[in-house]
Amino acid sequence: MPKQKTNKAATKRLKMSATGKILRTMGGKSHLNACKTRKRKRNLRGMKDVADTKMVKTLERMLATY
């Protein structure tokens, strides 16, 4: 049986934390930033964990980390 390939688009957008959670970057930072407040842009900086359990299973399969 062949190995599971990683999805390259997923590896560019997602990251695994040290505890095994999948982290994602937040959207809405690339353009139309002049009308957004400093606080809003600052809060979009970090990484968030993927909360939905069905999506986590799919993303783990895409990252081939199971």
Domain boundaries, the chain: 8-63
pLDDT reading at 31 higher than 90: yes
Residue 2 has a pLDDT of 82
62 pLDDT higher than 70: yes
Give the model's pLDDT for residue 33: 94
The pTM of this model reads 0.74
Report how far residue 66's alpha carbon sits from residue 40's, in angstroms, rounded to the nearest whole number: 35
Q: In whole angstroms, give the CA distance from residue 26 to residue 46.
A: 7
CATH 4.10.410.60 holds for 8-63: yes
Does 25 or 65 have the greater pLDDT score? Answer: 25
What is the SS3 assignment for 15?
Answer: strand
